[in-house]
Amino acid sequence: MKNRLPVILALVGAGLVLPPLILDSTWNATLSLALIYALMGLSVVVLTGFVGQLSLMPATFVGIGAYASGRLVTNLATPFWGAVPLAAAVVVPFALVIGMIALRLKGLYLAIMTLVFANVVEQFLFTQDWFVGKQHVVDAPRPHLGGIDFASDKSYYVLVYVAVAAVLLLTWNLSRSRTARACYAVRDNEDAAQAWGINVAKYKLLAFALSGLIAGFAGALYGHWLEAVSTGGQRPLFGLEFSLTIVFFTIVGGVRSIWGPVLGAAVWVVLVKRLLAGSPDGVNIAISIFGAVVLLTMLYRPAGLIAWIGDAWRRLRRPRAQVAAGEA
Amino acid sequence: MMLAATFSGKLFAQDLLNGVSLGAVFALLGLGVVLIYKSSGVLNFAHGSMAMFSTYVYFQLTQSFHGMPVVVAAAIAVGIGAVIGAASYLGVFRRMQDAGLLAKVIASLAVAGVLQGGAAFLWRNASQARVPQQFPESSLRIGGVGLGWQEVGTIAITVFAGLALIMILRRTTFGIALRATAQNRTAARLLGVRETRVATTSWAIGGALAALAGVLVIPLAVLTVYSMIGYMVRGFVAAVVGGFVSLPAALAGGFVLGAAQESLKATPVEQLSSVFAGLAIAVLLLTRVERFFALDQELRALQELG
Amino acid sequence: MTTSARRFRFLASATVLCFALSSCALFQRERVAIRSSSLETLPPTPLTAGGTTPASPGATSGPSVVFQPGTSHLLGGKPNYVSDDGVTADTIRIGTIQPMDGPAAQLGRPLYRATQAYVNDLNARGGINGRRVELYLQTACINCEDENKLAAKALVEEKHVFAIVNTYMNTYAFSSALTYLNSKRVPLIQGWSGVGPDNLTWGAQQTPWNVYYTIRNADGVYVFARWLQAALTHWNADGKLPSGCAQHPYQVGEVYLDSSQDQRRADEFERVWRSFGAGYKVTSKQAVAAEEETVTRMDSYVSAMQDSGACGAFSASNITMVFGMQAAKRQGWIVPWVAKSAWGRAATDNCGSACNGGFTDNNGWGWPQIETPQMQQYHRVMARYYPDSTDDAQTLGGWIGMMAFEYAASRLGADLKREPLMKILTGLNGFVTGIGATINSSRSDHLAMSQTMMLQICGNRFYRVSNWLGANTAPPSNIASPCKWGEP
């Protein structure tokens, strides 16, 4: 680990500094969007990858965070730097409610429950005037700090990068802690974990709380990326489609790795939303191919695309003879 | 939002009737979901997309062949639904028998994605389509309320299909084989049940039921690639009523869900209507309704898979 | 130090840092300024009540313009010119954002085709003052706010377009992109849909930077009211109204989607209707919540209208008309229906005989069978580039948008800047396109059309049953459609 540190720091630094320097505003906006989506996917990883709770409503938590942050800044005159963490915190009670319900439900039923809840919240909560404001669009302005105006895409990219990197780092750290090991035990065999004396309920609730926190944080950053959070067009903005999209690209990337959503979001945002947006039929075809890719991934490499990359990385670093042993 | 300020019995009755016909659609979808789950342990998140794709086929048939009777077009669409269901199983889920729950859910989401993307591309010039009704455009009037013949027909077909399916599961070899597989896969296999054949047939029937739901309900709405998602979610709730294993419960549950949901709209607490499905499922799941329906062995199998 | 200790230290310092940051926020005196618009906001267009006479076409201060897209030759080799982004000596870049997939694809694709065909033809004719026009498409799913914003950014910052044309703005999901485009002062020229005081209430509704040519709400409502009045008179004379209606033929019901836009239209209709006289009443107003209810509850809404004694129906949008008429047929409630902008496939694709006789309008965007040189040119060009396309509200509306753009840009000659462009577009007097209604725009009125044509659905087809009607024009006594004034 020690001798890799300079390399890692260099890569992190490059990610921070290069896009604002060499790419244009639109690409900076695209990459910051990809990072925000990665954070949304991370909330799925924490819940599903770490503790095995299948929740199909990440976008709901993201939405609550987005609207909350916008309303805090616009209507309650909260500075951005306080509004974003607060908005993330606001989501936690919601997540805990779902978590407490999850305690009584197993796998499949939890998935359905979250599906139905996502449907209900999108139709009910996100259409209420007291929540989304009378005009159904919530302004979410970007802050100033010293001389920096974060309304500029490049500055906002730096802000998002730092925020996402921090969250990823904390989560990575967490993923190697004893808490995480307990979570993995719960994920792999809940009854056995219970038998070993692990407080299953505590870890499940913890996972929901953390997942909600991350999703809310991502939502707040998302809201301020948009600068005006609406309730959507003909379909709600933070509805089922968005939730399933997040789950989708996270699985493709790899749901057990914190880098999985980074990869998945990069593919989804950069490829589908950006590169294909210039062609009349690109997106349709891309979605079908994406679906097919997911199918193949599920059939042949359920660990996700990140596993392919992980293998390639390991192959690069170790001599061939050790690869077979390392692949176990 | 109705402008009737006071509770109106007539409105309530009308909404109730509409709710029953809506519930028939939920029940049809729920039946298919239960069948598919019993045979292969997969919760089919692609159910709505299968219905949507088949209904688009129905649309295309009515557009391209003006002479074709609407009922024939609908029948062909239902057949296509069966093919899609069987193909999904043979192509994807047959190899995933021992995969975990998460992988199966994601795989069905992926199938949904493929169907959705495909339909969006194939019918990009008809992204909001309308399809014809199979039944006459008038309605059956009873007293002051009425129900369109399309809705009456939907209810009748659903009841018939549900009862037929229940009979099939009780009496035929296929049905017994399916129930055996659902109870204890290994034992069934040892006893010579051809699991692939049972599952393929189940998926085919499930896909056909989804298509049937689509062609029956979409004439009253607009067909887009997202049309059937809301219905599918409610179909899941119907399936949950029966603990995912009981067909009669799914059938009844769908009707009750629809009736309750709609009739709430005519009451002073009309806001509850949109959250009713959520409340219902919360109550159902938290009271462990599946215990009432699953046999001991099925329950154990459920817990293993869950 | 052990790894777990190191990890703990790291986590602790990270936590402290987080708290420090948040608490800094609490101590910050300076409030984040609510982003103020850098534009002048215009006073809202007073919704002209049906009483005041809107400007009739041609009665304007300046000479009217009959615009036939041809060739423009004002550049003439001028070496020095002043221009904005997107304009070079020989090109003009314009952009369009369309949903090309998903449910809205059948709005986006025809609009894109019409725009692209127009541009192709424009270039074939020599461009605008010798400058070739380049059209850049960005696709964005209509409900995806982030895609809309990225599309707008890509067009403005990467493709450096001069203006954006024919982009569907009438959705909340475009809010973020709209804010961005307004802050960048990029003209939005919409022939087909846009933002005005009639629809979205949020933010920069009507700014100096967008125009959207369609029939004004108040004028449209007046035309519909007059038309419904005529239909009821005819039906009553023929004895075709439901029993009991002969005593009160001018009692009507309204049904509409539960949106602010529809609500306002419905309220305006009620006001106008009642102003016609004592017997003119609106006995029932039904707001339908979003698309789902049109499936399940239309029977209830229609039956409520019927029970209230209504003898006719006004629908403020197409969806409630199509499903409303189907429900009405199911219940055997046969009355005249008039709807706003139901010209589209929803009504003719399998509404069946239920929609027979229903009336709607074309939003002021014209009719494919009008015999004008401009319409013939439209047909020629569309047939050349997109022979499989059909004529509909989107293609005609988009065509009008491009005509306005070509006219305005060509008048500016070599110096092509955005603000003068918008000045022309918001100052059109008696602008006759030969496709849609005459346009009279002003800085406070970007909707600009005061006339529309009535259409009728009969046998799964639309028929044109009137010429251009304004608030002052009476409906004809006879209409050329197999359904006549009512069902055949």
Q: Is A120 within 8 Å of B274 when comparing Cβ atoms?
A: yes
Q: What's the total number of domains in chain A?
A: 1
C147 → chain A, closest CA residue: A273
B232 has pLDDT over 50: yes
Q: Is A302 within 8 Å of B111 when comparing Cβ atoms?
A: no
Assess B228–C contact: CB distance below 8 Å, yes or no.
Answer: no
Residue C4 pLDDT grade (very low, low, confident, very high; cuts 50, 70, 90): low
Assess A79–C contact: CB distance below 8 Å, yes or no.
Answer: yes
Provide the b/e sequence for C21-37 (b: ≥16 CB within 10 Å). Answer: ebeebeebeeebeebee
- The average pLDDT across C336-364 equals 88
Q: State the residue for tokens 């057949």.
A: B79
Q: State the residue for tokens 């062995």.
A: B297
Q: Please tell me the distance from the alpha carbon of residue A242 to that of residue A56, in angstroms, as a whole number.
A: 10
Say if A245 falls within a structural domain: no
Q: Per DSSP, what are the bridge partners of residue C164?
A: C95, C188
Window 131-150 of C, Cβ < 8 Å to A: 136-147, 149-150
- What is the pLDDT, as a whole number, of residue C56? 38
Torsion angles phi and psi, residue A139, rounded to 5: -70, 140
Q: Is A248 within 8 Å of B106 when comparing Cβ atoms?
A: yes
- Is A117 in a helix, a strand, or coil? helix
Per the structure block, which two tokens stand in for B127? 């992204």
For chain C, percent of residues with pLDDT exceeding 90: 47
User: Are residues C174 and C148 in contact, defined by beta-carbon separation less than 8 angstroms?
Assistant: yes
pLDDT tens-digit map of B26-68: 999 999 999 999 888 898 999 999 999 999 999 999 989 988 9
C35 has pLDDT over 70: no
Q: Per DSSP, what are the bridge partners of residue C339?
A: C315
Say if A109 falls within a structural domain: yes
> Domain containing A20: what range?
2-237
* Residue from B57, C141, B112 nearest A288 by CA: B112
- What is the pLDDT, as a whole number, of residue C442? 83
Q: Per DSSP, what are the bridge partners of residue A228?
A: A139
Greatest Cα pair distance in chain C: 99
pTM of the shown model: 0.86
Q: Which of C172, C201, C260 to mutate to test the interface with A (most CBs of A within 10 A)?
A: C172
Q: Please tell me the distance from the alpha carbon of residue B263 to that of residue C383, in angstroms, as a whole number.
A: 52
pLDDT tens-digit map of C208-240: 788 888 888 888 999 999 999 999 999 999 999
Q: Please tell me the distance from the alpha carbon of residue B188 to that of residue C209, in angstroms, as a whole number.
A: 71
**Length of chain A as a residue count:** 328
Per the structure block, which two tokens stand in for B35? 């069948």
B133 → chain C, closest CA residue: C350
Per the structure block, which two tokens stand in for C61? 């201060």
- The average pLDDT across A237-255 equals 86
Q: Cβ atoms within 10 A of the Cβ of C20, count?
A: 10
Q: State the residue for tokens 């090109």.
A: C91
Strands C65-66 and C91-98: unpaired
- Is C449 in a helix, a strand, or coil? strand
User: Are residues C217 and C198 in contact, defined by beta-carbon separation less than 8 angstroms?
Assistant: yes
- Is C455 in a helix, a strand, or coil? strand
Burial of C46 (0-12, 13-18, 19+ CB in 10 A): exposed
Q: Which of B96, B102, B128, B222 to mutate to test the interface with A (most CBs of A within 10 A)?
A: B102
Q: How far is C375 from chain B (nearest CA, A)?
A: 24
- What is the pLDDT, as a whole number, of residue C19? 47
Q: How many helices (H) and strands (E) does chain C have?
A: 13, 16
Residue C34 pLDDT grade (very low, low, confident, very high; cuts 50, 70, 90): very low
Residues of C in contact with A276 (CB under 8 A): 139
User: Are residues C336 and C315 in contact, defined by beta-carbon separation less than 8 angstroms?
Assistant: no
Ramachandran category for residue C413: left, alpha or beta (phi over 0 → left; psi -120 to 50 → alpha): left
Say if B4 falls within a structural domain: no
Say if A312 falls within a structural domain: no
Say if A269 falls within a structural domain: no
Name residues whose C-beta falls within 8 Å of residue C461's C-beta, 6 or more positions apart in sequence: C348
Q: Which of C284, C285, C299, C322 to mutate to test the interface with B (most CBs of B within 10 A)?
A: C299
Q: Which of A57, A113, A249 to mutate to test the interface with B (most CBs of B within 10 A)?
A: A113
The one-character DSSP state at A278 is G
Among the listed ranges A62-76, A272-286, B202-216, C470-484, which one has the minimum average pLDDT value? A272-286
Chain A to chain B, count of Cβ pairs less than 8 Å apart?
130
- What is the pLDDT, as a whole number, of residue C48? 30
- Is C99 in a helix, a strand, or coil? coil
Say if B142 falls within a structural domain: no
Q: Please tell me the distance from the alpha carbon of residue C307 to that of residue C314, in angstroms, as a whole number.
A: 16
Residues of B in contact with C345 (CB under 8 A): 126, 128-130
Among the listed ranges B98-112, B121-135, C133-147, C251-265, which one has the minimum average pLDDT value? B98-112
Per DSSP, the residues of C211-276 read: EE-EE-HHHHHHHHHHHHHHHHHHHHHTT-SPTTTTT-TTEEEEEEESSHHHHHHHHHHHHHHHTT
Name residues whose C-beta falls within 8 Å of residue A163's C-beta, 6 or more positions apart in sequence: A217, A221
Q: Is C299 within 8 Å of B148 when comparing Cβ atoms?
A: yes
* C-alpha separations of C462 from A42, C193, C229, C235 in Å: 52, 21, 21, 20
> Domain containing B155: what range?
9-136+147-305
* Sequence letter at residue C476: P
B142 → chain C, closest CA residue: C331
Per the structure block, which two tokens stand in for C129? 């003052």
Q: Please tell me the distance from the alpha carbon of residue C151 to that of residue C178, in angstroms, as a whole number.
A: 11
Q: Is B303 within 8 Å of A106 when comparing Cβ atoms?
A: yes
Window 136-155 of A, Cβ < 8 Å to C: 136-137, 139, 141-144, 151, 153
Pick from A48, A105, A295: CB nearest B110? A295
Chains adjacent to C (≥3 CB pairs closer than 8 angstroms): A, B
B153 has pLDDT over 60: yes
* Residue from B103, C17, C99, C144 nearest A37 by CA: C144
Per the structure block, which two tokens stand in for C148? 């809309």
Pick from C30, C139, C173: CB nearest A230? C173
Among the listed ranges A29-33, C162-166, C297-301, C467-471, which one has the minimum average pLDDT value? C297-301
Pick from B11, B121, B131: CB nearest C350? B131
Pick from B11, B19, B221: CB nearest C294? B221
Per the structure block, which two tokens stand in for C130? 């010798």
Window 90-129 of B, Cβ < 8 Å to C: 120-121, 124-129
Q: Average per-residue pLDDT in chain B?
A: 86
Torsion angles phi and psi, residue C455, rounded to 5: -120, 160
> Which domains are present in chain C?
67-215+367-449 (3.40.50.2300), 217-363+452-464 (3.40.50.2300)
User: Are residues A65 and A220 in contact, defined by beta-carbon separation less than 8 angstroms?
Assistant: yes
- What is the pLDDT, as a whole number, of residue C381? 96
Among the listed ranges B3-12, B83-92, C192-201, which one has the minimum average pLDDT value? C192-201
Q: Is B306 within 8 Å of A108 when comparing Cβ atoms?
A: yes
Q: How far is A26 from chain C (nearest CA, A)?
A: 6
Per the structure block, which two tokens stand in for B171? 């009496």
Say if B21 falls within a structural domain: yes
C260 → chain A, closest CA residue: A135
Q: How far is A320 from chain C (nearest CA, A)?
A: 30
- The average pLDDT across B169-183 equals 85
Q: Is C203 within 8 Å of A81 when comparing Cβ atoms?
A: no
> Greater confidence, B185 or C301?
C301
* Residue from A224, B101, B14 nearest C145 by CA: A224
Say if A313 falls within a structural domain: no
Provide the b/e sequence for C368-401 (b: ≥16 CB within 10 Å). Answer: bebeeebbebbeebbeebbeebebbbbbbbbbbb
Among the listed ranges A310-324, C125-139, C224-238, which one has the minimum average pLDDT value? A310-324
* Residue from A167, A154, A56 nearest A112 by CA: A56
Q: What's the total number of domains in chain B?
A: 1
Per the structure block, which two tokens stand in for A100? 């407490």
Q: Please tell me the distance from the alpha carbon of residue C124 to that of residue C122, in angstroms, as a whole number.
A: 5
> In chain B, where do the E strands start and end?
139-142, 145-148
Pick from B43, B103, B282: CB nearest A101? B282
Q: Which of A25, A30, A40, A81 to mutate to test the interface with C (most CBs of C within 10 A)?
A: A81
Q: How far is A321 from chain C (nearest CA, A)?
A: 30
Name residues whose C-beta falls within 8 Å of residue A98's C-beta, 6 or more positions apart in sequence: A55, A57, A113, A114, A117, A208
B267 has pLDDT over 70: yes
Pick from C297, C307, C346: CB nearest B222? C346
Chain A to chain C, count of Cβ pairs less than 8 Å apart?
157
